[in-house]
Amino acid sequence: MPTLAPSPRQRTVRHETAIELLDGEIRRIAELIADTAPTAPVPNCPGWDLEALIRHVALIHKWARTMVEKLTPKRIPQRTIDAEPPADWTAVPAWFSHNGAELVAALRGADPDAPMYSWAADKHVRFWIRRMLHETTIHRTDAEGAAGVASRIEPAVAVDAIDELLELLPYAEFFRPNVHDLRGDGETIHLHATDIDGTGLPGEWLITLEPEGFRWSRAHVKGAAAIRGDVQDLALFMYGRRKADDAALTVIGDTSLLAHWSANSSF
């Protein structure tokens, strides 16, 4: 399900910066592992505890690193990747850090423009630089939820996370079938990040649901539904970590439209 029109291609985070930020996110997760029990529930991931979350993130890191190192033109099945953590939880922070450092080294050593497999339109190493930053950042906030500490996402990263999600959704149907239902008859959703007005960062998005899919753009217009808040809270909403009725967000208009979007878009 491709989007119906070209979407903005402005990147708010450079490749080199994204890799440095990814390295910091990995270090932060390792700190959280050291200070939190493996059985701590992850509020944003129902049914998961911290150990399950860490298993998932470490697997994704090793999977991506393996493909980047090989510049593979085809997908390597995740089931072939061995990313089993140590049985001793006290050894997991160092293990997670080492695994993540290998991913960072692979990304630093690769040409961002080198062609390789991805599951979306951009089939280059740069896809994985961006994807690993946002995958890890969102899961870092999940780990912070398990640890009971507040989360913060840098505004430029939050903007780019929203952009990336909107770019990737049309290609995510093979593992998130509900994406197919992101269609409509011209209904519009407006996102407005109220904390970055005047900063030079883009802070508004317009999503239009049409019979063949959705399109999006940057626009300062009214939507049938609108959601406003700090850009990090909008990013967490888009990734399914905030509900529309969260106190940090303000909703105007058709709440059923936002519920439809939320039910079919987060991954």
Domain boundaries, the chain: 15-151, 175-265
In the prediction, which pLDDT does 6 show?
A: 47
Residue 106 vs residues 77, 111, 132: alpha-carbon distances, Å: 19, 10, 12
In the prediction, which pLDDT does 5 show?
A: 43
- Whole-number percent of the chain with pLDDT over 70: 96
Q: How far is it, in rounded angstroms, from Cα 244 to Cα 197?
A: 21
Residue 246 has pLDDT above 80, yes or no: yes
- 15-151 belongs to CATH 3.50.50.60: no
Is the C-alpha dihedral spanning 250, 13, 52, 80 positive or negative? positive
- pLDDT mean over 45-68: 98
Domain range 175-265, CATH architecture = 2-Layer Sandwich (3.30)
- Phi, psi torsion values for 193, nearest 5 degrees: -85, 110
Place of tokens 């140590």: 86
Virtual torsion, Cα 32, 33, 35, 37, nearest 10 deg: 130
Confidence of residue 9 (pLDDT cuts 50, 70, 90): low
In the prediction, which pLDDT does 124 show?
A: 96
- Phi, psi torsion values for 166, nearest 5 degrees: -65, -35
In the prediction, which pLDDT does 266 show?
A: 79
Q: Is 244 within 8 Å of 262 (Cβ atoms)? A: yes
Residue 267 has pLDDT above 90, yes or no: no
In the prediction, which pLDDT does 155 show?
A: 97
Q: What is the DSSP string of 53-80?
A: HHHHHHHHHHHHHHHHHHT-SSPPPGGG
Question: CA angle, corner 164, sides to 193 and 161, nearest 5?
Answer: 45
- pLDDT mean over 148-165: 96
- Stretch among 19-33, 85-99, 206-220 having the lowest mean pLDDT: 206-220
In the prediction, which pLDDT does 8 show?
A: 54
Burial of 253 (0-12, 13-18, 19+ CB in 10 A): middle
Put simply, whether the predicted model's pTM sits higher than 0.85 gets the answer yes
Q: Provide the token pair at 91.
A: 């050894």
- Stretch among 60-64, 174-178, 260-264 having the lowest mean pLDDT: 174-178
Place of tokens 């197919």: 180
Residue 240 vs residues 27, 141, 162, 210, 236: alpha-carbon distances, Å: 24, 12, 12, 22, 6
Question: pLDDT, tens digit, for every residue of 214-226?
Answer: 999 988 889 999 9
Q: Is 137 within 8 Å of 26 (Cβ atoms)? A: no
Q: How far is it, in rounded angstroms, from Cα 141 to Cα 102?
A: 22
Q: How far is it, in rounded angstroms, from Cα 124 to Cα 256?
A: 37
Place of tokens 């070209």: 6
Question: pLDDT, tens digit, for every residue of 188-243?
Answer: 999 999 999 999 999 999 999 999 999 999 888 899 999 999 999 999 999 999 99
- pLDDT mean over 100-118: 98
In the prediction, which pLDDT does 7 show?
A: 54
